[in-house]
Structure 1
Amino acid sequence: MNIKAFVKKEIVFCVSVFLAVASSLITCPTARMMLSFCDWRVIVLLFSLMLVIQAFKSENVLDNAAVWILRLCPSVRSLYFSFTFLVFFSSMAVTNDVALLTFVPLSILVCKMADIPSVMLVILETVAANLGSCVTPMGNPQNLFLYSFYSIPVVDFFKTTLVIAIPSFILLFVSVILITAGEKNKPFFFSKNDFSFHPVRRVRTSVYSVVMLVILLSVFRIIDYRIGFIFTLISILLCNRHLLKKVDYCLLMTFCAFFVFTKNCTSVPGLSSTISSVLKSPGVVFGVSIAASQVISNVPAALLLSNFTEETHALLLGVNAGGLGTLIASLASVISYKLYNSENPNTSGIYLLKFTVVNIIFMILLIPLCLLFVNR
């Protein structure tokens, strides 16, 4: 892969490295200081989650679950419901980008088999992934970071994220009803093939399930994250060491680069106090986090703004609601667009238009509810 192709593929990583290097030239931190800037608990947990997700993908666990559900679909409407809420709930555990990488290609293939357009289904899946993932600490990178950075109590975390989750579930339900109004009884035909696990795969899947449980216990601080990391690494090395090659190391390094950049910003005289003075009220923090997410995406927005405010719940809601809106507001949205465009290049413009309209509508409907919560 040449440099131009790499930059195009990993634009966020390249921008984060540039910002880290540029800011370091101004503040001149030592190597030891730069290492201390990184929140290693977040990095280790994110690495462990990505590793176990790759493990499940290697055993086709999610694919088999999706196919099993599809066998139960008698109509287009049931197909929409199945995929939309399969993505919504799975993203809470396996992150929004993995849920889309798993189910979007399958849904596009199924739509081709059934001779129905896939554009609205993919858009709903993308919205469902971004909204479903906001519920749990491990659902997306910004949640994992904020949960760790602010040491948010578990109950408080879920009280906050459910402000988005419950209305989102209702909005998605209504959206499916409206979108499939003219096709609710149109039959959907799917091959009744049998899918089963090889005995060795059953054993590995069982091991990965235990690993996932240990990681979740680490996320919720029930066991030390370092113990969880060692257990995860040993288990993967014993079961399938090749999975280590499939981890998105650019994402991990992106986090490290943004940690360095944001810490450098806080050490610039006057800058930290100026930004902090602006981000005093919950409403302002919520609004700025949504606006920043539209431009630099919600993960960098969370990393940057967390250094200047203690309005935890406003920031948490803001960067999650901010995942809606523009295509780059959430990196998961870019993933689904690329997947759709690779199969339907002639309709990519239609996809972008409909995607933007749907996302803006969802964001407009959710913002008042979030503001009521942060300003209470």
Structure 2
Amino acid sequence: MTWLPDLLRQLRRDMLFLVLLVVAIAFAAANPSRLPQWPGLVDWPTIAALAGLLLLTKAVESSGALDVAGRWLIDRTATRRVAALGLVAAAAVLSMLLTNDVALFVVVPLTLRMCRIARMPATRIVVFEALAVNAGSMLTPIGNPQNLFLWQQWNNGFGGFVWAMLPLSGAALVLLLVVAALAFPADTLEVHEQADERVDRTMLVVAAVLYIPFILAADLGHAAWGLLGVALIFLAFRRRVVARIDYGLLLTFVLMFVDLRLLAGTGTVKGFIGGLGLNEPTHLYATGALASQAVSNVPAAILLAEYSHDWRTIAYGVNVGGFGFVLGSLANLIALRLLGERKAWGTFHLWSIPFFAAVGLIGWLLL
């Protein structure tokens, strides 16, 4: 339990966690009779999937494999601009196939190691990777949780979903790559630190072998059993990995589910949304994008599905809503937590809010 004091110190400095905690306390004080219902507000499969991914990526990071991979990539990359564009494009493509959060768990640790070896500023690259996974994941029904919900809710077909989202996702990705090319300098990369060539092959192999079964278990609705298996294996032979994952992130997500679902379920919020004229596509689109800024895009999609059957417009709105404020998408929170720099929040909003406005306008024109 030596990690517990470190966790408490981390949480005391985590402003988002503290805000969510204060909101939860306010809800509890206002309606204490609902406290027994709170566990049901948490999407526990999502928490279990997140915990399993944290374990597996921490194992890969601790194995030393990222040091070797980072040095290999640097040796084959000429400039910072090329390196940044490659990482941003990789994040976008992975998010289409592996979901946006999984893409971040793969790309961000690799990015951080590359930046340490070459002494590149990591903050801006990770911010653009967060934007990239939001832009790329909107294309497919398996790219993010809100798309998965809408796909299953209306059974609109994998190909039909991709075709409907292609114009918006394609435009967002093109815009992102253009902005990224302008945002990063073309100066030559210089290696200032030698990568540690020692790799814990056993840990790396175990993490790699467990990865696909865990993803399949989570996809089939058995994330809790997958987490249990992964945790038991690492407890048996590499206990330090279990102790070093970001438990603060897990607690933050639990509070987010509780607070945001309590907020979305209030009569005031429901009455307000019901009076917005959501039968009009532009109203529905704007509501999805703006509501995501306040309650995140997954709860926004679930809430709007109660008022409209226009799944394409809902999908456009909540996916655009992933940009803008950090709460727009859970992927934003994951990226910034993996980065671990408090100043990154300001940098994120400096790029994400204008991008939200630009992609929002594109989505409105496409509708």
TM-score, normalised via structure 2 length: 0.72
Q: Aligned equivalents of 1:233 and 1:67: distance in 2?
A: 30
Equivalent position of 2:287 in the other structure: 288
* 1:247 CA displacement: 2.9
Which residue of structure 2 lines up, in the alignment, with residue 143 of structure 1? 144
For each residue in 1:77-114, what CA deviation from the matched residue of structure 2 results, as whole angstroms up to 9, or x when unmatched? Answer: 433434443554566463547744552464366256xx
Q: Is the aligned partner of 1:366 residue 2:359?
A: yes
1:217 paired residue number: 216
Select which of 330, 333, 336 maps to 1:331.
333
8 A Cα contact 1:62 1:102, kept in partner: yes
Trace 1:149-164 onto structure 2 (pairs within 5 A): 151=152, 155=158
Conservation of the 8 A alpha-carbon contact between 1:27 and 1:264: no
Cα distance in 2 for partners of 1:194, 1:105 equals: 9
Alpha-carbon distance in 1 for matches of 2:361, 2:301 = 22
Q: Does 1:48 align with 2:52?
A: yes
Q: Which of 241, 244, 255 does residue 242 from structure 2 map onto?
A: 244
> Of residues 15, 35, 45 in structure 1, which corresponds to 2:19?
15
- When residues 149 and 369 of structure 1 are mapped into structure 2, their CA distance, relative to the original with a 3 A threshold, is closer
Partner of 1:321: 320
1:129–1:266 distance in 2 versus 1, CA, 3 Å: closer
2:254 is aligned to 256
Query: Which of 165, 169, 174 does residue 170 from structure 1 map onto?
Result: 174
Aligned counterpart, 2:128: 127
Q: What whole-Å deviation, never above 9, does each CA across 1:18-62 have from its counterpart, x for those lacking one?
A: 222322333333544222222222221122222222222212333
| SS of residue matched to 1:278 | coil
Aligned mates of 1:250, 1:38 — CA distance in 2: 16
TM-score by structure 1 length? Answer: 0.70
Aligned AA (2:296): A
Aligned-partner SS, 2:238: helix
**What do you get for the CA RMSD once the two structures are aligned?**
4.3
Deviation (angstroms), 1:14: 2.0
Query: Within 2, Cα distance between the matches of 1:20 and 1:328?
Result: 16
In 2, Cα distance between equivalents of 1:64 and 1:208: 16
Q: Does 1:301 align with 2:305?
A: no
Paired positions, count: 345
SS at 1:36 equivalent: helix
Is there any run of 5+ residues in structure 1 with no aligned partner, and where? 113-117, 343-347
Aligned ranges 1:45-84 → 2 under 5 Å: 45-84=49-88
Give, as a single letter, the amino acid of the residue that structure 2 aligns with 1:238. A
